[in-house]
A and B are shown apart, each in its own frame.
Chain A
Amino acid sequence: MDPAGMALFVVVIPAVVAAAALFLARFLARGEKAPLWPAIAAGFAAGHLGIGGWPRGMPVEAWQWMLPIAVLGAVTGASYAWNSMPARARVAPWVVIVGFTVWTTLVKRPPVALAGFSAAAFLLGWTLDGAARRTSARSFSATVLIVATATGVSLVVSGTLLIGQMAGALAAATGACLVLAGRLRLESRSAVPVVTALLAALWMNGILYAELPIASAVLLAAAPLGCWIADVVLAKRLGPLPMTISRVAVAVLLAGAGVAVAVGDAPPLDYCRGAVRRQIVL
């Protein structure tokens, strides 16, 4: 894929599809807040199709499962947005989406790995839910945008352009939500399942099938938690603007640390630099 194609499939199409889905969601919401989940799921799915191609039968590779994960995440988000659902019953869609994400991504791994990654995904979902509950849709989108962008960069330097581009599609879809959050009334909590599932799938793919260091994924996953903690600690002391700046700063700091770890641990890219050097010498 040339740079123009990459920009189209990784940034433009996911962002445009996400924006269109958001307007449709607002139309269907009829005066209520428009949920973010259709935009994020549709934007990511469009990016996945552009980058990975149209599926030819059942997924074979672990990363190919991210498309069904996005669809199931959207369904889970829809059920999550159903206000009359009893609080206890909300656990069921979570179990389904986390179980499906971990099971499809792990492929023939021991049960202990299944349990470990599931617990980590639940923890991520819990922190994202905490962040979504306490902050505006704009702040939530900004946090996810920062984490997804940092995830994309970390994955690319960890040796997988393909999965890095998928993270880019998630970032682009979320970026569109962030831009439109200034114009539309949005609801972010129902987007937590799809964001959790996609981020967890991206990190697991990076750790298991590429060279993404676990420490990098942990730091990236800690970014929403950091925002949440910053919110709890600083909310009463700071005004809205300093609070937003603090939240973004915490997210950037933790996600940036995740990128730094990935860069430090990255496989050497001297075969690219070597080509450039040879051209100069010649």
Chain B
Amino acid sequence: MKKLIASAAVLVLSAAALVGAREAYSAPESTAWQGDTVHSFVLFKVKHLGASWAYGRFNAFTVAVGANEDGSAVSSVEFVVKAQSVDTGNAGRDKHLMSPDFLNAKQFEEITFKSTAVKGEEVTGDLTLHGVTKSVTAQLVKVGAGKGMKGEELVGYETTFTVKRGDFGMTNLVGPVSDDVTLTVATELSKK
């Protein structure tokens, strides 16, 4: 009986090891790349009164990307933006944007994106904005690659995509301020 239990245990462990080995073998090679926030930007633009673009940025955020060794192929993208860091170059407008009229930034402190699938340059993921999560797809464009001051490897990516803020429950003042919000995330990544 003891031999039977021992054999079964060995069998289960072996199977687990084999499954683990297979998963390890099939997983794509991925290196973690960290966004340099000084050389990264989260920008947005909305149409104001149908006449002009109003631009703004978020000053506090983190970006993390999973990519291959030389950074040429991305496997995952994740960013977290502090909604209260919105900056349009005007304090009054920023406070209005942070209020429940728009971002409600004191209740929904973070805007996040986490990729769920990456096919070449096309990244699909869950964007959480204003407490609502929706799947969005964006085209990721490699800007370039280079060496940092300490010889570290750098790579730059940028993506621009448009969402309807109404889809995220931000329905107030749609009209004077457009429903379409175009977001640009530009990041310089260095290998972790």
> Which of the 9-residue segments A138-146, A156-164, A230-238, A251-259 touches chain B?
A156-164
Residues A254-278 near B (CB distance < 8 A)? 267-272, 274
The answer to whether residues A159 and B95 also contact, given A61-B100, A208-B106, A210-B100 and a CB cut-off of 8 A, is yes
Residues B112-155 near A (CB distance < 8 A)? 131-132
Return A263 CB to nearest CB of chain B, in Å.
13
> Which of the 9-residue segments B4-12, B15-23, B168-176, B180-188 touches chain A?
B168-176
Return A55 CB to nearest CB of chain B, in Å.
11
Return B53 CB to nearest CB of chain A, in Å.
14
Q: How far, in angstroms, from A136 to B171 measured CA to CA in the complex?
A: 40
Question: Which listed residue, A63, A159, A209, touches B96 by the CB 8 Å rule?
Answer: A159
A240 within 8 Å of B by Cβ? no
The answer to whether residues A269 and B92 also contact, given A160-B99, A209-B99 and a CB cut-off of 8 A, is yes
A20 within 8 Å of B by Cβ? no
B164 within 8 Å of A by Cβ? no
The answer to whether residues A270 and B90 also contact, given A159-B96, A211-B99 and a CB cut-off of 8 A, is yes
B93 adjacent to A209 (CB under 8 Å): no
Interface centre among A160, A205, A270 (most CB of B within 10 A): A160
B92 adjacent to A209 (CB under 8 Å): no
Question: Which listed residue, B91, B100, B173, touches A267 by the CB 8 Å rule?
Answer: B91
- Secondary structure of the B side of the interface? loop
B residues within 8 A CB of A53?
Answer: 171
The answer to whether residues A162 and B91 also contact, given A1-B173, A53-B171, A61-B169 and a CB cut-off of 8 A, is no
B90 adjacent to A271 (CB under 8 Å): yes
The answer to whether residues A159 and B171 also contact, given A61-B131, A107-B107, A267-B92 and a CB cut-off of 8 A, is no
Q: How far, in angstroms, from A160 to B97 measured CA to CA in the complex?
A: 9
B92 adjacent to A270 (CB under 8 Å): yes
Return B114 CB to nearest CB of chain A, in Å.
20
Return B167 CB to nearest CB of chain A, in Å.
11
A61 adjacent to B90 (CB under 8 Å): no
Residues B79-107 near A (CB distance < 8 A)? 90-93, 95-96, 98-101, 104, 106-107
Question: Which listed residue, B91, B93, B104, B175, touches A61 by the CB 8 Å rule?
Answer: B104
Select from chain B the residue with minimum beta-carbon distance to A164.
Answer: B101
Return B60 CB to nearest CB of chain A, in Å.
19
Chain A contact-residue range equals 20 to 34
Return A217 CB to nearest CB of chain B, in Å.
16
Select from chain B the residue with minimum beta-carbon distance to A62.
Answer: B107
B residues within 8 A CB of A163?
Answer: 100
Return A234 CB to nearest CB of chain B, in Å.
40
Select from chain A the residue with minimum beta-carbon distance to B169.
Answer: A60
Chain B residues in the interface with A (C-beta under 8 A) = 90-93, 95-96, 98-101, 104, 106-107, 131-132, 169, 171-173, 175
Would you give 29 A-B contacts (Cβ < 8 Å), ordered by A?
Answer: A53-B171, A60-B169, A61-B100, A61-B131, A61-B169, A62-B100, A62-B104, A62-B107, A63-B100, A159-B92, A159-B95, A159-B96, A159-B99, A159-B101, A160-B96, A160-B99, A162-B99, A162-B100, A162-B172, A208-B106, A209-B100, A210-B99, A210-B100, A211-B95, A267-B96, A268-B92, A269-B92, A270-B90, A271-B93
15 more CB-based (< 8 A) A-B contacts, given A159-B101, A274-B90: A2-B175, A61-B104, A61-B107, A62-B100, A63-B100, A159-B95, A161-B101, A161-B173, A162-B100, A162-B172, A209-B99, A267-B91, A268-B90, A270-B92, A271-B92
Chain A residues in the interface with B (C-beta under 8 A) = 1-2, 53, 60-63, 107, 159-163, 205, 208-211, 267-272, 274
